[in-house]
Amino acid sequence: MTRRPHALTYALAALALVAVIGLGLRLAAQLSDFNAARDDLADANSKVSELRKTLAAGVGPPLLDAKAGAPADQLAERMTRLGVTVRRAELTATTPAGRNLIAARFTIEGGADAAAIDRLALWAQANGRSAILETLSAAAAAGGKSEVKLELDALVREPGASPS
Amino acid sequence: MPDTADFAPSADEVQAIAAEPNRDEIFVRALDLPTLSLKQARAAVAQQLDILSPLPPAQVVSSVVLVGPVEDGLNRFAVGFAPRELLARMTEGGERSVALTGWLEGEAIAFRFDRPGAPPGKPDWAARLEAATIAGLCLAILLAGASVRMGREIDRVQARDDAANAQVQRLSGETASLTRIAAAWRAAQAARPAGVIDCALGDLAKATGGPVSLTRLSLAEGQVSAHLGAPASDATLTALRAMGFRAATPPTAASPAPVAPSPLAGPGDPAAAPVVRDLQTTAADCR
């Protein structure tokens, strides 16, 4: 004769009920925690994306890309196109200016006539977001040209950075 | 179908029957079927319960036992019928089944009767409670599994959240640094507009009414300083002042006129000075 007392049946039923209620409540609380954690994660990811965008934008658009060659040489080439005869172009200092971006100070010496100086000023003005003409000094020299020395700050994309 | 009901125990067994008060309440029939399957036999009994049972079908519970083969490929089953009330009485303590002995052709046969459910038409609360308990336990197991899984998911999301927050913290630091640099860059842009050179050269040409000789030109801190190659006339100086230039010393025949913004000493060589023409006239920051 297989015997299972009624008390055991009721105890099992009560245990099942308590277990179901307890686990149900626990699961509900976990679900709430899960949703909260997921919301937090979405917020954090959104913030990360926003910050990355800000960092990618940097201080401004780069004037030069170090990947294309030595920045000083690239700048000397541009100066030449503006009519400045470059004798020396040197990168003298750098400062981080955002992700994969540096603000570089260049010192350039050479010769230029008034028209070239004017073009240089207009070029610096046009590239105002990427370059700042810190100092310029021109002294008259023979042949209608002046001895020019200038310091220019420019944003340079570091090598290895992908253009954004 | 043979009618082999037997309520006649042997004389030797009378004593044993007397010791088992329920024995005389078991009704036994033999049933020959062409199968060995108890399941099929039970189904056959259930179908013909009203014929086989000595009591109304609603008042009996049946149990089937295989006795053995008989002729013509048939197998004999002993079918025991016990009154539902008797079984209910015997299972009051919660027993799930009861074993009772019946007699068939002088042989004692042990029948196992399950606890009877509720009478037809009435709810069987015990069975329902049992089913609900089983369902509840199954549900509890499922919930426990889901809870474990959910716990892992929460841990996983939390870990990702922590990583993202750490990244936010790092990027925020970088962004703050970038913001400071950007502010300094913008301030420098505003303080050192390169267009002031173009504007100054244009204004000089306008003020002198044509080409002008400069021995020196410099830009620093956003200010342009120029040294004229020849003394400026009063009219030129007046025009330059009107344009926002400043002269440090009054013009004399012996000394050149320094202009905007600081004086530059010493006369230049007019022959070596570059000729300046009105190359550009617009510069937003130039007065």
Under 8 Å between Cβ of B107 and B9: no
Banded pLDDT at A132 (limits 50, 70, 90): very high
pLDDT 10s digits, A59-68: 888 999 988 8
Phi first, then psi: what are they for B105, rounded to 5°? 50, 45
Whole-angstrom distance, CA of residue A152 vs CA of residue A82: 15
SS3 at position A100: coil
Tokens 């610096």, located at residue: A124
CA distance A27 to chain B (A): 5
Under 8 Å between Cβ of A64 and A157: yes
Q: Which residues of B touch A17 (CB under 8 A)?
A: 136
Whole-angstrom distance, CA of residue A119 vs CA of residue B146: 73
Partner-chain contact A142 B177, CB within 8 Å: no
Helix (H) or strand (E) holding A146: strand A146-157
Phi first, then psi: what are they for B230, rounded to 5°? -140, 155
Look at residue B264 in the predicted model and tell me its pLDDT. 34
| Longest CA–CA separation in chain A, Å | 127
pLDDT 10s digits, B148-190: 999 999 999 999 999 999 999 999 998 898 888 888 888 888 8
Q: Is residue B249 pLDDT above 70, yes or no?
A: no
- The tokens for A57 are 């934008």
Q: Is residue B242 pLDDT above 50, yes or no?
A: yes
Look at residue A133 in the predicted model and tell me its pLDDT. 92
Average pLDDT over residues A111-136: 90
Banded pLDDT at B24 (limits 50, 70, 90): low
Q: Which residues of B touch A15 (CB under 8 A)?
A: 137
Whole-angstrom distance, CA of residue B111 vs CA of residue B38: 13
The alpha-helical segments, DSSP class H, found in chain A are 6-57, 71-82, 114-126
Half-sphere exposure of A114 (CA within 13 A, CB side): 26
CB atoms under 10 Å from CB of A65, counted, come to 15
Look at residue A54 in the predicted model and tell me its pLDDT. 86
Partner-chain contact A44 B164, CB within 8 Å: yes
Whole-angstrom distance, CA of residue B161 vs CA of residue A41: 5
Partner-chain contact A13 B198, CB within 8 Å: no
Whole-angstrom distance, CA of residue B148 vs CA of residue B264: 84
Average pLDDT over residues A18-39: 94
CA distance B70 to chain A (A): 31
Q: Which residues of A touch B144 (CB under 8 A)?
A: 19, 23
Report yes or no: A52 at the B interface, CB cutoff 8 Å: yes
Whole-angstrom distance, CA of residue A117 vs CA of residue A111: 9
Q: Which residues of B touch A156 (CB under 8 A)?
A: none
pLDDT 10s digits, B76-121: 999 999 988 888 888 777 677 888 888 888 888 899 988 777 666 6
Whole-angstrom distance, CA of residue A86 vs CA of residue A154: 17
Average pLDDT over residues A131-137: 92
Nearest CA in chain A to B169: A48
Nearest CA in chain B to A28: B147
Partner-chain contact B219 A136, CB within 8 Å: yes
Tell me what ipTM this predicted complex has.
Answer: 0.76
